[in-house]
Chain A
Amino acid sequence: MESLLTAIFSGTAQGSIYALVSLGLVLVWRGAGVVNFAQMGQAMFTTYIASQMIQNDYSYWSAFVVALAAGGLLGGLVDLGLMRPLTSRKNSQLLNSQSMRNAIPIIASLGILGILKALAGIIWAGEERGFPGPVQPNPISFGSTNLAITSFDLFVIAVVFFTLLLTTIFFTKTGMGLAMRASALNPEVTRLSGIKVSWVRTLGWIISGTASSLAGLLITPRTNLSPNTLDLLLIIGFTAAVVGGLTSLAGAVLGGFILGYVISFVSVYSAPENVFIAILLFLLFALFVRPQGILGSKEVRRV
Chain B
Amino acid sequence: MLTIKNLVTQYDSIKALDDISFQAKPGVITTVIGANGAGKSTLLRTISGLERPTSGTIQWFDKELTRMSVEAIVRGGITQVPEGHAVISQLSVAENIELGGLFRKRIARGDLAKATTEVYELFPLLYDRRNEPAGSLSGGERQMLAISRALVSRPKLLLLDEPSLGLAPLITAQIIEIINNLCRNTGLTVLLVEQNANTALKVAEHGILLALGKVVADAPARELINDSALRTAYLGY
* Residues of chain A at the chain B interface (Cβ within 8 Å): 175, 178-179, 181-182, 185-186, 188-197, 297, 300, 302-303
Contact = CB atoms under 8 A, between A and B. Distances in A.
Interface residues of B, number: 30
A36 B79 CA distance: 34
A193 B88 CA distance: 12
B42 interface: no
Nearest to B73: A194
Contact of A194 (B87, B88, B102): B102
Contact of A185 (B48, B70, B90, B149): B90
B99 A193 contact: yes
| Residue of A192, A195, A196 with most partner-chain B CB within 10 A | A192
Contacts, number: 74
Given A179-B102, A182-B99, A193 B74 contact: yes
B89 A300 contact: yes
A178 B135 contact: no
Contacts of B88: 182, 185-186, 189-190
Contacts of B50: 188, 191-192
Interface of B: 48, 50, 69-71, 74-75, 79-80, 82, 84-91, 95, 98-100, 102-103, 105, 135, 139, 149, 153, 166
Given A181-B91, A185-B91, A192 B74 contact: yes
A196 B87 contact: no
Contacts of B75: 194
A194 B135 contact: no
Given A178-B95, A300-B135, A303-B139, A193 B86 contact: no
Contact of A192 (B82, B84, B135): B82
Contacts of A185: 88, 90-91
Contacts of A300: 89, 135
Contacts of B91: 178, 181-182, 185
Contacts of B89: 300, 302
Given A179-B102, A194-B102, A189 B135 contact: no
22 contacts: A175-B98, A178-B91, A178-B102, A179-B99, A181-B90, A185-B90, A185-B91, A186-B86, A188-B50, A189-B87, A190-B88, A191-B70, A191-B71, A191-B74, A192-B80, A192-B86, A193-B149, A194-B74, A195-B71, A300-B135, A302-B89, A302-B135
Contacts of B139: 302-303
A190 B99 contact: yes
Contact of B86 (A175, A189, A194, A196): A189
Nearest to A172: B95
B75 to A, nearest CB: 5
A196 B71 contact: yes
A166 B228 CA distance: 64
Contact of A193 (B69, B90, B153): B153
A189 B87 CA distance: 7
Given A182-B91, A185-B91, A191-B71, A303 B102 contact: no
Contacts of B103: 193-195
Contacts of A297: 90
A188 B71 CA distance: 10
A178 B99 contact: yes
A192 B99 CA distance: 10
B105 A175 contact: yes
B146 to A, nearest CB: 8
Contacts of B166: 303
Contacts of B79: 192, 194
A175 B89 CA distance: 18
A101 B225 CA distance: 47
